[in-house]
Chains A and B, each alone.
Chain A
Amino acid sequence: MENVIEVENLTHRYGKRVIYEDLNFTVPKEGIFGLLGKNGVGKTTLIKILMGFLRPVSGRCRVLGEDSHNLSPAARIRIGLLFEGHLAYEFMSIAQIERFYSSYYPAWDRDLYYGLVDRLDLPHHHLIKNMSCGQRSQVVLGLIFAQRPELMILDDYSMGLDAGYRRLFLEYLREYIKDGTKTVFVTSHIVQDLEKLVNEVIFLDRGGEIMQTSLDRFMSGFKQFSFKKADSKEMPQKDDIIRNVDNTGSVVSVYSFQSRETVESHLKKQGFDMATLDQVPMTLEDSFIGLTGKY
């Protein structure tokens, strides 16, 4: 299958701080891919590198088959990019920004833009600098949809959006990918939104450790088990079987990709009482926190 994004042996550092070391992944054409990771793991940095706004220390990134640091105008026409913080030309009005962008994109859909933006109930001469963060996001997302790009890269699209508009946006996004030719690469702080949206997830950890899997495989394979701990202060340790450990009061939660039987026998060997062991159903957000930890 054709890849729209290819990252090979990517290494990047800020000073002495390593962001990624030898990062590799690909995003195939078609579908919605979620990039998940805690604050500071380098999600935005990765998008900056993919879009050619930052030169990595080493490695290679290709977007739509072109070197990401040298994307041609023809490739950029095919990429809709949402910058973190819903960056926009704030000196423009709703109508001016539409007029400006429409001249660059041959497949521009004016109705789609105004379909989203008119829900703000603002006059078209309203300046973007006088909008709230959420209103600005609606304008910026409207511009990206109107562009009708083949590849949409959305860096934290949910920032500043209220619940209603977030849902509306997701409906538009589903409609947008319905023809089966589009690809969306998305990061978001609202992990539960992605549960209903993405086909595949890429978990990015500090230092550039990565896990790429389909959402279904991850949700069915990654499990949470809880049990009541005896008085001893000892806790299970992370190892090849136990991916993460958390405890609230006397209840211990362990997270693992292994089966219940494997986890149970593993913890028994460590001397834990498994009489109260139970599997806990998880949402994507629970799984994300289980995988990466709360802090």
Chain B
Amino acid sequence: MFLSILYKEWLKVRLYWVIAFLLNVALFVYLFIRLRHLFAIEHDEMIWYQAFEIGTLHYSHIKYLLIITGMIIGAAQFIPEMLGHRFRLSFHLPVRPNALALWAVFIGLFAVSVICILDAFLLYTIIGNFFPSEAAKSALLTASPWLFAGLTAYVGTALIALEPQLPRKLVYIAITGGFVWLFCQGSDYESYNRALCKLALISLLFFPSAILPAYRYRNRSS
């Protein structure tokens, strides 16, 4: 059952996943070129001063990258299901509806997570290439809320796409937007260190909530 659901979800998202993957890689290539250029034209002391005294984030352009990635994967996965009420096709499969919805969201979350891990690896490697390892670890902690924002954006997009009623869609847009906004507030190094775990735990609640619109879809009366 899982492999079959995986096959269907992969067929839907593969093109968009590859586009999102390339977009992420491209922006990290840009980060690498930008830092290399910076080190070529500036004194090391000046770059150190900018980064650690003034607090300039040289990688702030990736802040919204995973949010966009999450939204792309979520839309690619669930909009085709909702066009012409094709979600009914999935619910006629001999699979428990809740399991079906959760597996589909899990697969999408995994697809976004792979890109998150790639981004974390590239960020650590690129920053570590130009700065001491402490700076690379700090970059990971600084960017962690953005990774969670991407995962939240994905599940939120899934919820919004699956929800059959417009008023509730608007509520989900507000909740998702609020959470994503919360993860993107800090503009300093490691500004979420004390709150990240709690925020991440709360955002995890988004995952099982995918059952709700699926249940409401099957139980609507019009």
Contact = CB atoms under 8 A, between A and B. Distances in A.
A99 to B, nearest CB: 7
Given A55-B221, A103-B4, A104-B4, A85 B84 contact: yes
Nearest to B97: A52
B221 A91 contact: no
Contacts of B4: 100, 103-104
A275 interface: no
Interface string A83-118: 101011111100010011001110000000000000
A60 to B, nearest CB: 15
B220 A54 contact: yes
A89 B5 CA distance: 13
A258 to B, nearest CB: 41
Interface stretch (B28-36, B87-95, B116-124, B191-199): B87-95
Interface stretch (A28-36, A74-82, A245-253): A74-82
A1 to B, nearest CB: 26
Nearest to B8: A100
Interface residues of A, number: 32
Chain A interface SS verdict (over half):
loop
B92 A89 contact: no
Contact of B89 (A15, A83, A96): A83
Interface residues of B, number: 24
Contacts, number: 68
Contacts of B11: 91-92, 96
Contact of A76 (B7, B94, B219): B94
Contacts of B137: none
A217 to B, nearest CB: 33
B88 A53 contact: yes
B86 interface: yes
A51 B94 contact: no
Contact of B80 (A15, A69, A90): A90
A56 interface: yes
A79 to B, nearest CB: 8
Contacts of B85: 87
A9 B193 CA distance: 60
B220 A55 contact: yes
Nearest to A73: B94
Nearest to A90: B80
A69 B97 CA distance: 11
B94 A91 contact: no
B54 interface: no
B220 A77 contact: no
A88 B18 CA distance: 25
A295 interface: no
Nearest to B219: A55
B220 A99 contact: no
Given A91-B11, A99-B7, A76 B93 contact: yes
A95 B89 CA distance: 18
B80 A91 contact: yes
A92 B12 CA distance: 8
A162 to B, nearest CB: 22
Contacts of B93: 73, 76, 104
A87 B86 CA distance: 7
A115 B4 CA distance: 23
Contacts of B88: 48, 51, 53, 83, 87
A81 B96 CA distance: 17
A51 B97 CA distance: 13
A128 B197 CA distance: 45
Contacts of A55: 218-221
Contacts of A92: 8, 11
Contact of B96 (A54, A73, A87): A73
Contact of A103 (B3, B86, B96, B219): B3
A235 interface: no
Contact of A74 (B86, B94, B221): B94
A103 B7 CA distance: 11
B221 A56 contact: yes
Nearest to A74: B94
Contact of B95 (A73, A91, A100): A73
Nearest to A53: B88
A25 to B, nearest CB: 21
A89 B89 contact: yes
The residue among B12, B96, B221 with the most chain A CB atoms within 10 A of its own CB is B221
Interface of A: 12, 14-15, 48, 51-57, 69, 73-74, 76-77, 79, 81, 83, 85, 87-92, 96, 99-100, 103-105
9 contacts: A54-B221, A55-B220, A87-B85, A88-B89, A89-B8, A100-B4, A103-B1, A104-B93, A104-B94
